[in-house]
Amino acid sequence: MKYKMHTLLVLCFVIAGAVFAGGCLSADKDNDLNNVGMTSFKSERELRNFIESGGSSSSGSAASWRSGSAATPPAAPAPEASEMSAMTVNDAASPSGGGSTYSQTNVQIAGVDEADIVKTDGRIIYYTPNLFYPTNVTLQDDGRFPFYSFDTYRMTLIIDAFPAATASIISNITDTGGSLYLADDLLITISSNFRDSRIIAYDISDPASPKIAWEQEYEGFYVDSRLIDGKLYFVASEFGFAAFPRMYMGNALVYSDFYYSYGPDLIRPNAEVTYYVTKLDVQTGDADKTVALISSSWTIVFVSGDNLYLTNYYYPDTQIMFLNFVESNGSNYLPSDTMRHIREVMGYNLSNRIKHMAISEAVWDYANGLTNDEQTRFYESFYRDYSAYESALILEAEKTTITRINLETFEVVSGVVPGRINGKFAMDESNGYLRVISTVGDRFRTEESTLRSMVSILDAEMKTVGTLDNIAADKWIQTTRYVGDTLYLMTTTTENDPFILIDLSDPENPSVLGEMKLQGTYSYIYPISDTLLVGFGYSGDWRDWRTKLALYDVSNPNRPVELDVFYFNADEYVNVHDYHGFTWNAARNLMVVSGADTAYVFEIKDGQINLMKEDVHRNGWVVRSAYIDDYLYVFSDRWIHIYNMNSWQRVNTILIEQPVYPDIGLIYPERDRSVYRSYVPASTVSTSVSPTVVSAVQTV
- Residues 534 and 626 grouped into a single domain: yes
Q: Judge whether 220 and 249 are in contact, CB under 8 Å.
A: no
- Rounded-to-integer distance, Cα 452 and Cα 474, Å: 6
Q: Measure CA 617 to chain center.
A: 29
Question: Would 532 be classed as within a structural domain?
Answer: yes
For residue 3, the tally of other CB atoms under 10 A from its CB is 10
Question: Would 680 be classed as within a structural domain?
Answer: no
What residues are paired with 224 via a beta bridge? 235
Question: Based on the structure, what is the number of domains in the chain?
Answer: 3
Question: Would 110 be classed as within a structural domain?
Answer: no
Single-letter amino acid, residue 671: R
- Residues 387 and 451 grouped into a single domain: no
Percent of the chain whose predicted confidence (pLDDT) is above 90? 54
Domain-ending residue, one of 284, 316, 348: 316
- Residues 583 and 498 grouped into a single domain: yes
- Residues 12 and 42 grouped into a single domain: no
Bridging pattern class, strands 168-176 and 179-183: unpaired
Radius of gyration for the alpha carbons in the chain, expressed in angstroms and rounded: 29
> Higher model confidence: residue 211 or residue 65?
211
- Rounded-to-integer distance, Cα 669 and Cα 77, Å: 50
- 154-158, 485-489, 505-509, 677-681: which range is least confident on average? 677-681
Question: Would 697 be classed as within a structural domain?
Answer: no
> Burial of 651 by CB count in 10 Å (0-12 exposed, 13-18 middle, 19+ buried)?
middle
Mean pLDDT value across residues 454-473: 94
pLDDT in tens, 238-250: 988 777 888 899 9
- Residues 595 and 528 grouped into a single domain: yes
Domain-ending residue, one of 316, 351, 382: 316
- 37-51, 170-184, 344-358: which range is least confident on average? 37-51
- 20-29, 156-165, 444-453: which range is least confident on average? 20-29
Per DSSP, the three-state class of 433 is strand
Check whether 137 has a pLDDT greater than 60.
yes
Check whether 569 has a pLDDT greater than 80.
yes
pLDDT in tens, 589-644: 999 999 889 999 999 999 999 999 999 999 999 999 999 999 999 999 999 999 99
> Higher model confidence: residue 331 or residue 95?
331
Check whether 664 has a pLDDT greater than 80.
no
Q: How confident is the model at residue 447 (pLDDT cuts 50, 70, 90)?
A: low
> Higher model confidence: residue 425 or residue 62?
425
- Residues 527 and 627 grouped into a single domain: yes
Q: Judge whether 310 and 403 are in contact, CB under 8 Å.
A: yes
- 59-68, 105-114, 200-209, 377-386: which range is least confident on average? 59-68
- 164-178, 465-479, 570-584, 659-673: which range is least confident on average? 659-673
- Residues 449 and 596 grouped into a single domain: yes
- Residues 302 and 356 grouped into a single domain: no
At 672 the pLDDT is 52
Q: Judge whether 439 and 422 are in contact, CB under 8 Å.
A: yes
Buried-exposed string 120-147: b where 16+ CB fall within 10 A, e elsewhere? bbbbbbbbbbebebbeebebebeeeebe
Q: Judge whether 274 and 100 are in contact, CB under 8 Å.
A: no
Single-letter amino acid, residue 196: D
Owning domain of residue 350: 2-30+318-395
Question: Would 174 be classed as within a structural domain?
Answer: no
Buried-exposed string 279-314: b where 16+ CB fall within 10 A, e elsewhere? bbebeebbbebbbbbbbbeebbbbbbbebbbbbbbb
At 29 the pLDDT is 38
Q: Phi and psi at residue 627, in whole multiples of 5°?
A: -135, 150
At 73 the pLDDT is 34
Question: Would 621 be classed as within a structural domain?
Answer: yes
At 175 the pLDDT is 77
Domain-ending residue, one of 341, 365, 395: 395
Mean pLDDT value across residues 162-168: 96
At 384 the pLDDT is 85
- 86-95, 291-300, 505-514, 580-589: which range is least confident on average? 86-95
Percent of the chain whose predicted confidence (pLDDT) is above 70? 81
- Residues 324 and 364 grouped into a single domain: yes
Per DSSP, the three-state class of 46 is helix
- Residues 625 and 480 grouped into a single domain: yes
Mean pLDDT rounded to a whole number for the chain: 82
Bridging pattern class, strands 412-418 and 399-406: antiparallel
- Residues 305 and 337 grouped into a single domain: no
Question: Would 571 be classed as within a structural domain?
Answer: yes
Question: Would 173 be classed as within a structural domain?
Answer: no
CATH of the domain at 595: 2.40.128.630
- Residues 484 and 617 grouped into a single domain: yes
Buried-exposed string 415-431: b where 16+ CB fall within 10 A, e elsewhere? bbbbbbbbebbbbbbbe
Residues written for the chain: 700
Q: How confident is the model at residue 316 (pLDDT cuts 50, 70, 90)?
A: confident
Render 82-100 in DSSP notation, one character per residue.
-GGGSS-EE-SPPSTT--S
- Rounded-to-integer distance, Cα 83 and Cα 435, Å: 14
Single-letter amino acid, residue 74: P
Mean pLDDT value across residues 496-508: 89
Q: How confident is the model at residue 17 (pLDDT cuts 50, 70, 90)?
A: very low
